[in-house]
Amino acid sequence: MTTFRNRTQAGKELARRLSKFARREDVVVLGLARGGLPVAFEVAQALDAPLDVFVVRKLGVPGHRELAMGAIASGGVRVMNQSVISSLNIPSDQIENVAAQEQRELERREREYRGGADRLDVTGKTTILVDDGLATGASMRAAVQALRQRNPERIVVAVPTAAPSACQDFEKKVDEVVCLITPEPFFGVGAWYEDFSQTTDREVRTLLDEARSATPA
């Protein structure tokens, strides 16, 4: 099964599958922070489309943070994974504590990444939401719900790798889904990258600055 060298190479490969959106004035690319941003940067560069960051925070199960019990996104959107919450019998006060902590981090990242710059206007646009992969899909579901509040014309979810069930789930939720590989068994997003090191805040800011400087005002 294919593995990607890193997020940059994955983004270049994903961009080839999205070539029909190239050089269109009605297309914008949003990268989920942080890991989705390097992938989205390559997509935006190849399509000659404006790029912005979309901040979503996973709500990790207490003591098992990598397991998502839900996610939050800008605009007050919260998506919960009820099957995880029920199976682990997670109390509501623990859920609220995690949500409050992640809300503070979401707001910090919004300030950190934007540096005072306005969000891209997606009203009436074809908006391509990019992440480095889909496991449970909780973060992307929150992003889709939050994005709908901003009235795009179409929503396209695009990722290099996804669990087959997550990819199929989004086919019912958005206008188009592009998942380059859907391995079974999936194991996790990081299993399909040779280098899956954490993307830093500085890398996100640098890529956004570079994208903005390349986009005509």
What does the pLDDT look like over 53-66, one tens digit per residue?
A: 999 888 999 988 87
C-alpha span between 193 and 206 (Å, rounded) = 22
- Per-residue model confidence (pLDDT) at position 214: 74
Q: Are 72 and 102 in contact (CB under 8 A)?
A: yes
- Per-residue model confidence (pLDDT) at position 1: 63
Best CATH choice for the domain 7-55+118-214 from the list 3.40.50.2020, 3.40.1710.10, 3.20.19.10, 3.40.605.10: 3.40.50.2020
Q: Are 33 and 109 in contact (CB under 8 A)?
A: yes
CA atoms within 13 A on the CB side of 211: 31
Retrieve residue 145's tokens: 């719900």
C-alpha span between 175 and 62 (Å, rounded) = 34
Q: Are 21 and 176 in contact (CB under 8 A)?
A: no
> Which residues of 63-204 form beta strands (DSSP E)?
64-73, 77-80, 126-130, 154-161, 176-181
Residues of the chain with pLDDT under 50: 217
Alpha helices in 18-163 (DSSP H): 36-47, 82-88, 92-114, 138-148
- Per-residue model confidence (pLDDT) at position 217: 46
Strands 77-80 and 64-73, by their bridges, are antiparallel
Q: What pTM did the predictor assign? A: 0.88
- Per-residue model confidence (pLDDT) at position 191: 95
- Per-residue model confidence (pLDDT) at position 114: 80
**Is-cis flag, bond preceding 34, omega within 30?**
yes
- The secondary structure of residue 23, as a DSSP letter, is T
Q: Are 163 and 186 in contact (CB under 8 A)?
A: yes
